[in-house]
Amino acid sequence: MTLMKTKILLIYTGGTIGMVKDYDSGVLKPFNFNELLQRIPELYQLDCNIDTLSFDSPIDSSDMHPRDWLKIASIIEDGYENYDGFVVLHGSDTMSYTASALSFLLENLDKPVIFTGSQLPIGDLRTDAKENLITSIQIASLRQNSKSVVREVGLYFEYKLYRGNRTTKINAEHFQAFASLNYPHLVESGVHLNIFKEYLLPSKRNKNFVVHKEMDNNVAVLKLFPGISLKVLESILNTEGLKALVLETYGSGNAPTDKKFLDLLKKAIASGVHIINVTQCSGGSVIMGQYETSTALKKMQVINGKDITTEAAITKVMYMLGSRVSPKLFKTVFETSLRGEMN
């Protein structure tokens, strides 16, 4: 009996990984993914069949928008029954935002959705694109007992697969461009692929795959700094249509104890604005009430972002607002891990 090869859909949205250099002009131009196997013959060694799909107009990830997240989710929805896994090629600058967003949009995901990209174009002599692409496809095609090994949204870069909604881009020049400072990596590529199954999201049995179709971007982010003007905070909180503010606080969730500062937050919460407390530190967690400087935030029912990344906090809020979570339940739902985005 011949086992069927796994089928992988490669989705190109844009970004450096999909570029090749025209050596006559020195200009980067989009790579024709219909010629993928001819240009990267190593892919023939993978035990899977690969189909490719490209955005009609590939975009730089700096231009990525929630409507593009919904477009990627729809492509996956359309191909969900026909493919065993998906690899999304994406510019690295906002890849953590998109991976986080897709983790929320794709509920009860039972197949791998692996994001990857590169720091150098695919045709460059020292490119990281080939390794990132080949290993991402290999991870997406991993099966055990006729089931996908990875059943979540991941981000693969420089020999490591991370949970997508745990990642942050940390370097604009190194090949190791991403980190997951509050959660271990899921797979490590070396001579062998080492899979850390204890860190993978468990399968949600007998639950139907659901793709959410709405995100509400009436949100803002404010990073605190010593000397921040109350006028700035007031201006942001008075933004027409604002529904949520992700507040990047100091350390374990600390903020100024100035009465005027706190009164502005209280007024906003009373008017229905959701305020989420996340730490501006690269790693670690918000623990409101540990210090006096966060006690007031806890008392006024500011939402505890715990160890969530800013990228995941923003996209989770957009997803929850788009899903019309009731104001009474909003704090409880946000403080609950939905896709493994927080401890």
Report the C-alpha gap between 219 and 243 in whole angstroms. 6
Domain boundaries of the chain, sorted by first residue: 6-211, 219-334
How many separate helices (H) and strands (E) can be counted in the chain? 9, 20
Residue 56 above 50 pLDDT?
yes
User: Which CATH number does 219-334 carry?
Assistant: 3.40.50.40
For residue 342, the SS3 value is: coil
133 touches 40 (CB < 8 A): yes
pTM: predicted TM-score of the whole model, two decimal places = 0.95
Q: What are phi and psi of 106, to 5 degrees?
A: -100, 95
Per-residue pLDDT, averaged over 74-84, amounts to 98
Same-fold call for 6-211 versus 219-334: yes
Nearest to 159 by CA among 190, 128, 133, 180: 190
Residue 1 above 60 pLDDT?
no
Task: Confirm whether 168 is a catalytic residue.
Answer: no
**Window from 10-19, 217-226, 322-331 with minimum mean pLDDT:** 10-19
Strands (E), the chain: 6-12, 19-21, 28-30, 48-54, 85-89, 106-107, 113-116, 143-144, 147-148, 153-157, 160-163, 168-169, 178-179, 187-189, 193-195, 210-211, 219-223, 244-249, 274-279, 303-304
Among residues 6, 13, 16, 135, the one annotated as catalytic is 16
CATH architecture of 6-211: 3-Layer(aba) Sandwich (3.40)
**Window from 7-11, 110-114, 172-176, 273-277 with minimum mean pLDDT:** 172-176
**Window from 31-35, 99-103, 133-137, 268-272 with minimum mean pLDDT:** 31-35
Report pLDDT digits (tens) over 198-220.
999 998 778 999 999 999 999 99
Torsion of CA 290, 294, 297, 298, to 10 degrees: 10
